[in-house]
């Protein structure tokens, strides 16, 4: 069973706050030197068996749409894929030609996930996480698997 995706509504905000604060250590996210308040971004919520199962937040700017966060609460059953597909639809509907995101150098599962869904690695921003730590000191020194957290990996998908 996959997941149904609906736009984030006011009624989802308290749940989204708890999820983001719990999983990212803060509701603030720095990407490419920009500090985002995740609680103010538009989002998509995945529902599965009557429960919220995942959240994606995004930021529209001109003809680009940035996926700022993606969290699956039930991994390996299609929640992340459903949210990624819905983000493409939302971006297209908003007239975007490019969907992009950054992940960090430690996040090998994300690198795998996005590349398998058509995204290309378009840039490595060496040292960008070290820079981001000045805006968001709560970013830890090490990430997944104890990998030093240092660089931003930018991935993008051209929308037809």
Ligand X SMILES: CC(C)(COP(=O)(O)OP(=O)(O)OC[C@H]1O[C@@H](n2cnc3c(N)ncnc32)[C@H](O)[C@@H]1OP(=O)(O)O)[C@@H](O)C(=O)NCCC(=O)NCCS
Which residues of the shown chain bind ligand X in the complex (CB under 6 A)? Answer: 2, 70-72, 75-81, 101, 103, 107, 109-110, 113, 116
The rounded distance, in Å, linking the Cα atoms of 15 and 52 is 9
Least spacing, CB of residue 92 vs ligand X, in Å: 20
Least spacing, CB of residue 58 vs ligand X, in Å: 12
Cβ distance to ligand X smaller for residue 48 or 96: 48
Cβ distance to ligand X smaller for residue 95 or 122: 122
Containing H/E element for 155?
A: strand 152-158
Phi, psi of 109 (to 5 degrees): -60, -40
Q: How many CB atoms lie within 10 A of CB 149?
A: 19
The rounded distance, in Å, linking the Cα atoms of 131 and 98 is 25
Cβ distance to ligand X smaller for residue 79 or 87: 79
Closest CA relative to residue 9, chosen from 36, 56, 37, 42 = 42
Cβ distance to ligand X smaller for residue 22 or 95: 22
Cβ distance to ligand X smaller for residue 71 or 125: 71
The rounded distance, in Å, linking the Cα atoms of 139 and 29 is 9
Least spacing, CB of residue 1 vs ligand X, in Å: 7
In this chain, which residue has its C-beta nearest to ligand X?
Answer: 80
The rounded distance, in Å, linking the Cα atoms of 127 and 112 is 21
Least spacing, CB of residue 67 vs ligand X, in Å: 7
Least spacing, CB of residue 45 vs ligand X, in Å: 13
């Amino acid at each position: 069973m996959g997941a149904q995706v609906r736009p984030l509504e006011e009624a989802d905000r308290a749940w989204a706050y708890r999820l983001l604060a719990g999983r990212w250590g803060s509701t603030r996210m720095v990407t490419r030197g920009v500090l985002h308040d995740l609680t103010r971004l538009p989002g998509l919520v995945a529902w599965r068996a009557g429960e919220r199962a995942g959240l994606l937040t995004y930021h529209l700017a001109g003809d680009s749409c940035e996926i700022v966060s993606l969290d699956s609460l039930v991994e390996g059953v299609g929640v992340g894929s459903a949210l990624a597909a819905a983000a493409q639809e939302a971006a297209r509907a908003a007239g975007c030609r490019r969907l992009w995101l950054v992940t960090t150098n430690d996040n090998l599962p994300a690198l795998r996930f996005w590349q398998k869904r058509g995204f290309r690695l378009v840039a490595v921003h060496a040292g960008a996480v070290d820079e981001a730590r000045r805006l968001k000191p709560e970013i830890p020194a090490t990430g997944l698997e104890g990998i030093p957290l240092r660089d931003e990996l930018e991935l993008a998908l051209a929308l037809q």
